[in-house]
């Protein structure tokens, strides 16, 4: 089950991701931003599939697109967005911010152009990732990364309690 037409799909999904990302940070209406972000996330899930990471792709769809983004949309509907849409959208440090981001981009370009030789030149290697992905990930997750896994569950518990405490009117 090798991916077909890899370059075509890579550029298609990369384009979707970038256009989605640009829309996220430029739209006035947060709902539109959220929808653009969903496009980005789904395109990224497809790219995960191309990278032989089906389990991550599945988690991306079910958790990010189906869970976190619904939470975002939910909150956007709870808070009134009418007023914020009429206001100025970018803050006063926007020029500085864009300059800093450009500098960071320059850094990226410098690093990648200097160090492109250390990455494999042609198509990425065929690896053990061909083996049933879910089982291998699970072996890692519940083997070497067991402690991290438990910490993550603790983090989620803390987040649940934190969110409830924060959002509830009266406890």
Partner 1 sequence: MGGSTMDQIVQYIQSYLNTRGLTPGAAGNMFWVLVYIMLVFLGLSVAVIAMNWLERKILAHMQVRLGPMRVGPHGLLQPIADAIKLLLKEDIMPAEADSFVFWMAPLIVVLAAFTVFVVVPFGPTHAITDMNIGILFMLGVSSLSVLGIVMAGWASNSHYPLMGALRSSAQMVSYEVAMGLAVVSAILMTSLNKDGTGTLSMIGIVQAQQAQGVWFVFKFFPLGLIAFFIFAVAMVAETNRAPFDLAEAESELTAGFHTEYSGFRWSLFFLAEYSAMIAVSSIAVTLWLGGWLRPFPNLLTGPTWDQAFSYIPGITFLFFAATCFYNTVRMPKHPLFRIQTIGLAGFGVVLGLIGLMLFISGVSMRIQDIFWFSAKVAGFMYLYIWFRGTFPRYRFDQLMQMGWKVLLPMGLGVLIGTGGMGLRSEIWNQAVLPFGRWIWSLV
Partner 2 sequence: MESMLHITTLHYLVLGAALFLLGVIGVLTRRNVVIVLMSIELILNAVNLNLVAFSRMSGGLHGQVFAIFVITDAAAEAAVGLGILIAFFRNKETVNIDEVNLLKW
Partner 3 sequence: MTDPNTTLSHLDLADLATHEKPFLDANELVINMGPQHPATHGVLRVILRLDGEKVLGLECVIGYLHRGVEKIGEHRTYTMFNPYVDRMDYVAAVSNGLGYCETVEKLLHVEAPPRAQHVRVILTELNRIASHQLWLGTHALDIGAITPLFYTFRDREEILKIYEKYCGARLTTHAFRIGGLQYETYTGFEKEVKTFLNFFRPKIDEYEELLTTNRIWVERTKNVGAISAEDCIALGVTGPVLRASGVKWDLRKAQPYANYKNFDFGIPTGQNGDTYDRYLVRMAEMRQSVRIIEQAVDALPEGPIMAKVPKVMKPPVGEVYHSIEAPKGELGYFIVSDGSTQPYRVRVRPPSFVNLQALDLMCRGELVADVIAVIGTLDIVLGEVDR
93: contact with partner 2 by CB under 8 A: yes
Q: How far apart are CA 158 and CA 160, in angstroms?
A: 5
Does 71 interact with partner 3 (rule: CB under 8 A)? no
Which H/E stretch holds residue 42?
helix 30-50
Q: Give the residue, chosen from 1, 4, 128, 171, that forms a contact with partner 2 under the rule CB under 8 A.
A: 128
Task: Indicate the DSSP class of residue 91.
Answer: -
List Cα–Cα distances, 84 to 28, 30, 80, 97, 115, in angstroms.
Answer: 9, 9, 8, 21, 44
Distance (Å, rounded) from C-alpha 15 to C-alpha 156?
A: 33
Is 77 an interacting residue with respect to partner 2 (CB under 8 A)?
A: no
Candidate residues 99, 100, 107, 134; the one interacting with partner 1 per rule CB under 8 A: 134
Q: Give the one residue of 98, 110, 132, 146 binding partner 2; rule: CB under 8 A.
A: 98
Residue 82 in the binding site for partner 3 (CB under 8 A): yes
Give 111 or 163: the residue with its C-beta nearer to partner 1.
Answer: 163
């Amino acid at each position: 089950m090798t991916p077909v037409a890899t370059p075509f799909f890579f550029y298609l999904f990369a384009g979707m991701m970038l256009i989605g990302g640009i829309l996220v940070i430029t739209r006035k209406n947060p709902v539109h931003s959220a929808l653009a972000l969903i496009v980005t996330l789904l395109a990224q899930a497809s790219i995960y599939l191309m990278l032989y990471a089906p389990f991550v792709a599945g988690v991306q769809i079910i958790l990010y697109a189906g869970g976190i983004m619904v939470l975002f949309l939910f909150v956007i509907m709870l808070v009134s967005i009418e007023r914020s849409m009429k206001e100025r959208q970018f803050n006063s440090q926007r020029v500085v911010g864009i300059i800093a981001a450009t500098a960071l981009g320059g850094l990226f370009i410098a690093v990648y152009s200097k160090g492109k030789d250390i990455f494999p030149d042609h198509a990425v290697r065929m690896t053990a990732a061909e083996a049933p992905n879910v089982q291998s990930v699970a072996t890692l997750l519940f083997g070497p990364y067991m402690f991290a896994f438990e910490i993550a569950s603790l983090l989620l518990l803390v987040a649940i309690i934190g969110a409830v405490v924060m959002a509830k009117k009266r406890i």
